[in-house]
Structures are given as C-alpha cells and as structure tokens.
Amino acid sequence: MKKLILTTAITLVAFAGAFAQTTTPTAHVNPGPATANANLSVTINPIQSIKVNNGDVALSYSSTDHYKNGVTEERPDHLTVYSTGAFQVNVQASDLVSSGTETIAASGITVTAANGTTNGLASIESEGPVELPTTAASLIFSSNEGAVDRNVDVTYKGAGGDDYLNKYFKTGSNNVYKTVVTYSIEAK
C-alpha cells in the first residue's frame, strides 16, 4: 500500500509538472498608475504701497541768491514703492500757511522724481518738475512694470524770482510756512 501511495504521488507530481509546461499562463493586466485631477487657479490681486523716507523737508531762504533763484532740497531715496504691475504716483498739497494768516501758494514749489539707489525691478518715467497742485493730484512719475521696494529720489524746489520777498513779517506772524505733501500710488 505504501508503494501504491508513493506511486500515485509521483504520478500526480509528474502530471502536474507536465500540465504546467503545456498550458499557457494567464496574463495579469497592469492597470497602470491611478490618476485624479485638481483645478488650480491663481488670483493676482493689485497691491500698491508707498512710503516716504525722511519725511521732513525744509526749504530755507537765507541769502539774496535764494530769493532770486529759489531753494533746492534733494531727498535721495525719499520714496519707496511696491506695486504688482504697472503703476503711477501722484502728488498733491494744500497751500502753505504760517501760524498767522499768511499763505504761500503750493504751486510755487516743484517736485521732481528721479531713479533712486534701488531699482526694485521697475524703471520709472519722471514727469519732470511738477508744481504742487492743490485741487487735484498730479502725476509725478509712472512705470509700465511692477516694482519691489523701488526707491525714488525727489527734489523739492522753492520759487525764485523774489516771489517770497514780501512773505517775511517782523511781528504778528510766524515766518515758517507749512503744508503736508501727499503722495499716492495706483495701478496704471
């Protein structure tokens, strides 16, 4: 009986081996990588910022030449701007007033923009000397591209031609005339 079992087992193993060699193995289909989609959007929002550096500007008339030719104060890197995309910078002020009742027309003061020490990607187009406007802001410079911390020099020039000759008063009035100059930035 042992021989019969052993013979049967050997026959079965041989039969299984022969069957394995004669049959074609079934192919396994690889489905490949699985995929899924996401919808991506990028929103570019307009951001403009402007900062005045060293904000106190003083034009002092202290010689006959100053009254004749005017007074100039150069402010290197006076403005720092940041803008996503093209932009323009405007300027505006009110007339200068003393602590008394005397005034000096803001239009007697001009401001001129020029490239500062840091270009910050943008090149600027200066409008040249711009008289300080009082009714609506005036363009001082612009750029057709965005700016990252772009520095801009500003030169202030007070009127010459003896325009302020009669703005000094010995008594009854302070001889310092003041205003606030406002710079604004907007998308172009």
pLDDT of residue 81: 96
The CA distance from 71 to 50, in Å, is 26
Q: Best-predicted range by mean pLDDT among 3-7, 13-17, 145-149?
A: 145-149
pLDDT of residue 1: 52
Please compute the mean of the pLDDT values over residues 25-30 and round it to a whole number: 70
Could you tell me the maximum CA-CA distance found in the chain, to the nearest angstrom? 142
* CA neighbor of 111 nearest in space, from 67, 187, 52, 66: 52
pLDDT of residue 33: 87
pTM score > 0.85 for this model? no
Please state the length of the chain.
188
The CA distance from 13 to 186, in Å, is 88
C-alpha distances out from residue 77 to 2, 34, 53, 98, 141, Å: 106, 56, 7, 28, 14
Query: Quick check: 59 and 109 in contact, CB under 8 A?
Result: yes
Q: Could you report the per-residue pLDDT of 85-111, keeping only the tens digit for each? A: 999 999 999 999 988 778 999 999 999
Q: Which is more confidently placed, 41 or 27?
A: 41
The CA distance from 109 to 131, in Å, is 6
The CA distance from 47 to 51, in Å, is 14
Residues 6+ apart with CB under 8 A from 117: 76, 77, 151
Going along the chain, which residue ranges are E strands?
Answer: 48-52, 72-83, 87-93, 96-97, 103-104, 109-115, 125-126, 130-131, 138-143, 147-158, 181-187
